Structure 1
Amino acid sequence: PFNKAGHFYYNQKINCIRAQGYVAAGGKAFSFSPDTAFAVLDWGRGVWTYENTWYWSSASGVLDGVPFGWNLGYGFGDTSAATENMLFYNGKAHKLSRVSFGIPRRGRQYDYMAPWTFSSDDGRFEMSFVPILDRASRSNLLILKSDQHQVFGRFTGSAVLDDGTRLTVKDFHGFAERVENRW
């Protein structure tokens, strides 16, 4: 999807993967149950452009007793012919059109810990996002640079399935990120 000859990428993201296990920290064990815990797989390969910025959001969980989640993204390559924006509900994928990430700014800087908005051009995904934690990472080695903000938080709003069913979402945990790279 790049306009530069010889550059490409292949990416696969799988949402709503049931997870189980535990994490041990500080002498305590925190268990996960596949009834309530989910994972996402993000796998990609390619020859990428030197400078790129992408936006990605993912969430997986249970909504009214049914597995629900989404994958949203743009900015990485030319997505004019297709998007990676999908809802997943009860094991079925529902295609979304373009979704914009509204990250607030304070002057010329992004304010990642202020509430965000998400809006699709077809009205099928409308969410507010309240950040809890910004997993930020920055490096600058002159010719190599990365500025990553993967923000975890809660989504509230609505999503519309292909058949017109409107789902109401409140305090649904997920993440959204903005990543700017030169590598």
Structure 2
Amino acid sequence: MTTHEREITEPVDLCLPGGRLNPAAVGWTRRPLHRTGLRGWGRAKRWEYWGIVTPGHVIGLVASSLDYAGVHGVYVLDRATGQETVRDAVVPFARGATLGAFGSAHVRGGGLSIDIDGSSIRATAPGVEVDVTVPLPPGHESLGVVVPWSTRRFQYTVKDLGRPAHGTLRLGSAEHTVDGFAVLDHGRGKWPYSIRWNWAAGCAPGRAIQLGGKWTDGTGSTENAVFVDGRLHKLGADLTWTYDRRDWLRPWRITGAGVDVTFHPFHERVARTNLLVVANETHQCFGHFTGWAALDDGSRVDLDGLTGWAEEAYNRW
């Protein structure tokens, strides 16, 4: 086996009645099993992020409640021209945001709306409309992980990679067909005030790779996995990320037990927010993967040709 972490196979509460982390919730799952009733205010963070990749475009949709603010966004990259369309909204105290159980989010504010209902995703903003379905194929598995910093600080994340994505994208008066794949980052937790993380996700027909770093290091939990034909193979080692902060478009290396990946960027997206109490800086690069990752039986899967992204994010929130 490629991980020492405990697999959870039955539904479990993320929190104890008083709001602290339930020790029985620490582990990983192949499908969403955690009930995420967060209590309290000030450190609770909730979000849904969908990244959609097609031959012509990359689409990013985020709906979030950070307690102090709702931070929502619609992002579109034209892969042929490099032109970015960015529509962001910051709503004080996350008014107009409802982030419920897994697969449900509805946010409004700043001229932007996002509605996520299971496999249906709709978003509208000035000059942009997204209407996409992301059906769940039979037997398709996702990675759920609880990361425990302490009994008061913890995060539940679900990374769901390689869902088929079909629908339409409207930019101004032009309508584009969406026919590609989608990746979900579902998050519920209580975070430290200042944190830095890495995230990489790449997909191709029948294969996908999900890798994380920095924020999970030393916790005993990781968000690393490789997927083959929808089947999850958990990777349990902390990884080493090597990249150039002076030139984000140089190749990235991600290595560790069971993983040897090189990421080759073709575009860098930079996002910054500074609202004094809440601040963020993210460098998200889109590109292609080469390398390999180990499966449960010790064999290796070739990752050459996967498309996706790698990022570094710093949050003060």
> Normalization by structure 2: what TM-score?
0.49
CA distance in 2, matches of 1:114, 1:81: 30
Contact 1:2 1:78 in 2 (8 A): no
What is the aligned partner in structure 2 of residue 142 from structure 1?
A: 276
- Cα distance in 2 between the residues matched to 1:31 and 1:163: 39
Pairs within 5 Å for 1:5-24: 6-24=152-170
Distance 1:26 1:143 in 2: 35
- Residue type matched to 1:54 in 2? W
Q: Which amino acid aligns with 1:53?
A: R
Measured in 1, the distance between the counterparts of 2:253 and 2:200 equals 12
What is the distance in 2 between the residues matched to 1:173 and 1:69? Answer: 9
Q: Call closer, same or farther: CA 1:38–1:79 in 2, change over 3 Å.
A: farther
Q: Could you say what secondary structure the match of 2:149 adopts? A: coil
SS in 1 for 2:232: strand
**How far apart, CA to CA, are the structure 2 residues paired with 1:26 and 1:157?**
39
1:117 lines up with 2:260 in the alignment: no
Shift of 1:172: 1.9
Does 2:290 correspond to 1:156? yes
- Please tell me whether residue 81 in structure 1 is matched to residue 220 in structure 2: yes
Q: CA deviation at 1:89?
A: 0.4
Residues 51/131 of structure 1: CA separation in 2 closer, same or farther (3 Å cut):
same
Deviation at 1:137, TM superposition (A): 0.7
Q: Which amino acid aligns with 1:12?
A: V
Residues 94-109 of structure 1: matches in 2 within 5 Å?
Answer: 94-96=233-235, 97-106=237-246
Tell me the SS of whatever aligns to 1:20. strand
RMSD of aligned C-alpha atoms?
A: 1.9
Structure number with the bigger relative contact order (C-alpha 8 A, sep ≥ 6) is 1
| Partner Cα distance (2:224, 2:285) in 1 | 18
Structure 1: unaligned runs, 5 residues or longer: none
8 Å Cα contact 2:197/2:215 also seen in 1: yes
Name which one, 1 or 2, has greater alpha-carbon Rg. Answer: 2
Instruction: Tell me whether 131-140 or 5-14 shows the greater mean CA deviation.
Output: 5-14
